[in-house]
Each structure stands twice: as structure tokens, then as C-alpha cells.
Structure 1
Amino acid sequence: IQSKLILDCILIITSVVPPELPMELTMAVNSSLAALSKFYVYCTEPFRIPFAGRIDVCCFDKTGTLTGEDLVFEGLAGISEDGENIRHLYSAAEAPESTILVIGAAHALVKLDDGDVVGDPMEKATLKAIGWAVEKKNTTFREGTGKLNVIRRFQFSSALKRSASIASHDDTLFAAVKGAPETIRERLSNIPKNYDDIYKSFTRSGSRVLALASKQLPKLSQPKIEELTRDEVESDLIFNGFLIFHCPLKEDAIETIKMLNESSHRSVMITGDNPLTAVHVAKEVGIVFGETLILDRAGKSDDGQLLFRDVEETITIPFDPSKDTFDHSQLFDRYDIAVTGYALSALDGHSQLRDLLRQAWVYARVSPSQKE
């Protein structure tokens, strides 16, 4: 009796599910592939197409996805001692030799046997604009400056947000460091006037900004150089200016986001770039429209304190994640929200995090692990 009951149940199920369903589903997937190919969209895993109908949130990276891969070098900023004109850009010809040497050393480009130079497109654009040519055996050459030899490299770390090199030029040994402005700021022996104002003025307008710094090292043998720790190399630095890059949007970025908005999909940006730059690009493509508040650390220390501030830093609203009584409804109704990777880490395990994830449109300065 029990086996007959099981058999009857199976017969009922098979009669409810049409035998043509697998074939119809396959035909629907093939039709979708054909329709997508007309728009030059190709799918390597067709079995995922049926799941795409359930998507209501689309997350985009910034560099290489919404903006082009090739950044445009605009110039140098912050190399003037008076610091009066914070928006002034200097050309490569106006750069002091110390800045030129840092640019020639602080890179990870490699020249292959066939002559091709491979590495970060941003570093390629920088060295080309300044006039450095990458040669073999970790050397670079510039007319008028001569040859520079990179002895040791500390590769870029997403956790530290900087990279460093030890190089020699004319029997002089020095350390060259490049990274996020807020990170380099903490490693300087003397912070220049208007340091924050200069780099923030460019990031607010959507530019990509990197800070340069260096310090002279005593003459050391190769074994002694290998013994140096990263912290020793990247401490007590002298500021050498900001690199300013323009991030042009891809031709179809605005139209793509517009189509997703019209189809009731929620578009979100997730990037490792500066939050001010990210918010500017998000406004350009149509991810955010109104005034935006950025949730980030309250000060310079890592004490877990958070603060909402607008792009111009004229509005500041303290935020305590430990208090569930924070009334965020009016805040979310009035402002678009951007969240930094630091804030995400500080909010981990707090009940406020779920509400923020539903309301945030931009995630900036996030690590690769946070992107996952």
C-alpha cells in the first residue's frame, strides 16, 4: 500500500509538470542568447540566464566598468610651497626633480622580452606624461634626469592603500612612496598647508588623486636593504605632490544606468576609490541624484566612531552604531547615502547595518574582500 501511494504521488507530480517544460526552458535560454548577441552581449554560462529574471539590484565597479580603463594624466598639484591656489595644476615640465624621481621609482611596470611594457594603466600614463621610459632589469630612463635603478619594491597593499620602492640615482639611495592621500598623510614628518583642501578639491570634481612622498636613505649594502621593514621605509616621509587623473565615463554608462532605473532595478556602485570621487561619478551616471551624505570615520583615529558628512563637509551628523534608537528614516528620505569600507567594518555585527545596506547607493574605499 505504501509503495502504491508513493507511485501515485509521483504520477501526480509528473502530470502537473508538463513534459515539454525542459525543452521550452532550453528554447527560452537560446532565444535569450540570440537576443543578447544582437547587442554584442555574450554569455559563457547560459544556465544563469533564468536566474537573471530575479535580479533587482545591480552592483557596478567604477574603474574599467563605469569609467574607462585608461586614465588621463591631468597634472601635478600641491608642489607649490605657498599652497595658496589649491586648484592649480602643474605640468611635467614644472615638476621639481624630487617629484620626478619619485614618479620614476614608485611603480611596478615590467618590460617584457618583446619590448611591451605591462602593468597598471595609470602608472603607464604617469611615466609617459613625465617622460620616463621603462627599461629592463628594473631601470627607468629619462632625458635630462638619467637612469634610475629600482632595488626593492613593496607592492601595493589594499589594506595599507599604498606602495613603495627603494631606488638609487646618481649614487643616492631613496625611498619613493605612492598611495591614497589620507594614507600618505599619516606617514609624513610634516603635513603641508592645505594638504586636505588640495586633494579634496580634485576628488570632489571626480578626479583620481594619488599622493607622492619620499625620503633619503643612507648608503646601504644589498643585504641591509633587504633587512629594512616596510614600516621603516614608509615612515618620516617628505611630501612630493599629488598626481591628478581624469576618469572619463564609458560611452554607454549613462544610458545603461538609465535603462536599469527605468526598469525598476536598483543600481549601486562599489569601488576602492575615494568616496568623494565615487559620489561625483555616481551623480554623472545617474546612480544618485540628490545631496549625498558619506558615512565614514569621525576623525583620523581608528576608534570606531562614525560620522555622516556631505561632500562639502558643511553638514556633519554623528552616528553611533551601538544605539538602536538612531532615527534614520528622515535622513534616508532626504539624502542619498554613501558608505566607506571603514564604516562597513565598524558596523559589522550591528543591527543598523541591514538598514544602511538597503539605503546606500555608493560604497567607496572598500577592500577586495569587502567587494566579495
Structure 2
Amino acid sequence: TLTSDNLVVQGVAGVDVGPTAGPTSTKPRVLIVPADESPFETQCVLASCQSLALLDGEIVGDPLEKACLTAINWSINKGDSVSPKKGRRSSLKICQRFHFASALKRMSTVCAMHSSSAGPAHLVTVKGAPEVLKDMFTSLPYDYETTYTKLTRQGARVLALGYRHLGSLSLREVHALKRDDVEKDLTFAGLIVISCPLKEDSKRNVRCLHESSHHVVMVTGDNPLTACHVAKELKITNKKTLILTQDNDEWVWQSVGGANKVAMDTRPSQLGDQFDLCLAGDGLTHLLLAENRRLFSNLLPYVKVFARVAPKQKESVVISYKALGYVT
């Protein structure tokens, strides 16, 4: 792992605070607000859409989820419930979890919201890759795509947040819900922005690998723009990087900044002379098709970054390298 577990929650992007004209407003707004100053619904998503556990009074689980909980100043209580440490007295009890899956790039929960003024009402909370959740929202901010693209290009890890009110349900009705029932018709709740500092020894270790004539490649589940930023920081890439992207029905190599496009069928050696290459999960799937296998093998020596890669795809990458005579 190249990045540290000491994650820094920068805040929430894409939300209006104070007087608001709604999620589709075109008015200028603060790009990132502190997580604990974000709308209450946003904090509900961050607090409940997680797989953390309380063990002997200590919170255990994913460092990213722990960092988010700390950033909004909420606590985990017994019985799988969460509540703000101060202010509002509402609490959420997690009734059903649909755990994060690499192939789906998202997770969701169904929660019972308890407040002093009313009985429990049920709430769906969802988080995941912005490009995956995009079609699940009922409406989006005008700058949704440009915002998360800009942030990931700067090296941040960005997750989209959404929720949906279900009203009051019986426990039986909650447990009967399927994943497809809850992960739809969502209200946009913002983009959580997390920076992942490099480990102290990452640069040194990558440099040592280069100096010992190793071919260094990054394979990650992160967004390709985030991955390309980290690869550049570590000098895994030294040239301008192109990402294989689907442009309408056509596959093209596109620069990180989006300014340059190169035809996919450009000779691999010609590409490699000028650029370092990045393959994201969808591009990798396309190149692993039988009719593209030969092209994939010819491209492999020039690929420096694999991003948004599922575990099965990682296996395919390693097998393909070994077939070319590379060893790990």
C-alpha cells in the first residue's frame, strides 16, 4: 500500500449551506465545506453508511470510515446505532447493510431514524464512486461531474453520497428489501473529499525498485485521475499520461487534463515513446475481449497505472504479465 491510513477529510463538495436554491442551482458556492458543517442529511449518510463496529469501547474498521465519523463528530453506540455527540438528539439505528462490493463500487444501508419529537422513520443511505451513483440520483448539481473530476485530478479520493426517505416500515418490511429496491431515486447529499497522504517510505521504495531495474506498475481500485496523480508523485509515471476512455461509441486515449486525444489503434510502441498509459476497469474489460487480446499484450509494457480495477481483473493483469515473461 502506497498511501497512509492517516486519512484527512477535507470536507464535503457540491452542497449548499445556509440559504439554498436547491441542488441544481447555478449560483456560485463554496467548493468544499467542513464535514461537520454540512447538511444534516449529509452527516446522516456519512454516519450510517459504514461497516464499523464497537469492540471493547473502541471503534474498529475501515480507516476511511473512521475518519469520516470523526470529521462529523458523531459516535457509534451499542446496538449498531449512531448519533451526534452534540446538537441534534436524533439517532440512527442501522437495520440492514448492503456491504461494499468492488464490482459495484458502492454500499448502502437502511436505517431507522429516531428523534425525541416523533417515532422512527426509515432512511436509505448510499455512498460510492461518483460515476456509478450518477444515474441513481433524481437530480444533480450542474457542476457534479466537473467538481469530482477536478478534485480527483488533484489526488483526492472522492465518494458520492445519497439518501432516500422510506417512511415508517416494519422490521419485516425492512429485511425484505433488496439492494435494487434501495439503491435508486436518491437525493444527492454531496461529495465527500478525502486526501490520502503517501506513506513516508513510499517514494524511497519506488525509487529503489527503479534503481534495481524493476518495471514498476500501480494497480488500484481508486479513480483513474486520483491514481494518476499518486503515480506522478511517486515518479511511477514520468511522461504525460493517457487514459483509455470511451468517447460515445469510440475508445480513445485521453490525457488526464482532457485536452489531448489519441486513437486507440495507434501503434503501442509509438504511444509508449511519448506517453505513459493508464487503464481503468472499463478499458481493461474492453481490451480483455478476445478480439483485443493481442493489442492488450502489446500495450502492457507501456501501461504504468491500472485503476478502478476489480479483484478478478487484478488476477488477469498478473497472469498477462507472466505470459509476457514478467515476474512479480
Task: Select which of 301, 305, 317 maps to 2:262.
Answer: 317
Task: Select which of 64, 70, 88 maps to 1:128.
Answer: 70
AA partner of residue 115 (structure 1): G
Deviation at 1:292, TM superposition (A): 0.5
1:215–1:238 CA contact under 8 A, matched in 2: yes
Deviation at 1:83, TM superposition (A): 5.6
Aligned twin of 2:278: 338
Aligned twin of 1:201: 150
Q: How many pairs are equivalent?
A: 298
SS at match of 2:32: coil
1:86–1:194 CA contact under 8 A, matched in 2: no
TM-score, reference length from structure 1: 0.77
Percent identity of the aligned residues?
A: 40
SS at match of 1:296: strand
SS at match of 2:298: helix
1:212–1:240 CA contact under 8 A, matched in 2: yes
Aligned twin of 1:152: 96
Task: Select which of 82, 85, 88 maps to 1:140.
Answer: 82
Measure, in 2, the Cα distance between the counterparts of 1:140 and 1:151.
Answer: 12
AA partner of residue 107 (structure 1): Q
Measure, in 1, the Cα distance between the counterparts of 2:48 and 2:36.
Answer: 18
Residue 135 of structure 2 corresponds to residue 186 of structure 1? yes
Measure, in 2, the Cα distance between the counterparts of 1:83 and 1:71.
Answer: 31
2:268–2:302 CA contact under 8 A, matched in 1: no
1:75–1:90 CA contact under 8 A, matched in 2: yes
SS at match of 2:257: coil
Aligned twin of 1:307: 252
Show CA shifts across 1:65-107 (max 9, x none): 1111231111111112446557721013421111111112111
Distance 1:85 1:121, change over 3 A: farther
AA partner of residue 327 (structure 1): R
2:47–2:68 CA contact under 8 A, matched in 1: no
AA partner of residue 245 (structure 1): I
1:87–1:198 CA contact under 8 A, matched in 2: no
AA partner of residue 217 (structure 2): V
Residue 192 of structure 2 corresponds to residue 258 of structure 1? no
SS at match of 2:313: helix
Kindly report which structure 2 residues correspond to 1:25-64, keeping only aligned pairs within 5 A, or say none. Answer: none
AA partner of residue 74 (structure 2): W
AA partner of residue 268 (structure 2): H
Show CA shifts across 1:166-194 (max 9, x none): 11213221100000111111211112211
2:36–2:73 CA contact under 8 A, matched in 1: no
TM-score, reference length from structure 2: 0.86
Measure, in 1, the Cα distance between the counterparts of 2:269 and 2:244.
Answer: 15
Aligned twin of 2:58: 116
Deviation at 1:318, TM superposition (A): 4.1
SS at match of 2:203: helix
Show CA shifts across 1:201-248 (max 9, x none): 110111111110011113211111122221110011111001111111
Aligned twin of 2:321: none
Kindly report which structure 2 residues correspond to 1:6-17, keeping only aligned pairs within 5 A, or say none. Answer: none
Structure 2: gaps spanning 5 or more residues: 17-22, 316-328
Kindly report which structure 2 residues correspond to 1:154-303, keeping only aligned pairs within 5 A, or say none. Answer: 154-169=98-113, 170=115, 171-299=120-248
Residue 311 of structure 2 corresponds to residue 368 of structure 1? yes
Distance 1:87 1:360, change over 3 A: farther
Kindly report which structure 2 residues correspond to 1:50-89, keeping only aligned pairs within 5 A, or say none. Answer: 65-80=1-16, 81=23, 82=25, 88-89=31-32
Measure, in 1, the Cα distance between the counterparts of 2:106 and 2:88.
Answer: 25
1:309–1:315 CA contact under 8 A, matched in 2: yes
Structure 1: gaps spanning 5 or more residues: 1-64, 321-325
Instruction: Name the Cα RMSD after superposition.
Output: 1.7
1:86–1:201 CA contact under 8 A, matched in 2: no
Distance 1:346 1:127, change over 3 A: same
Larger Rg: 1
Measure, in 1, the Cα distance between the counterparts of 2:281 and 2:31.
Answer: 30
Q: Structure 1 residues 256-265 or 192-201, which shifts more? A: 256-265
1:87–1:202 CA contact under 8 A, matched in 2: no
Measure, in 2, the Cα distance between the counterparts of 1:232 and 1:363.
Answer: 32
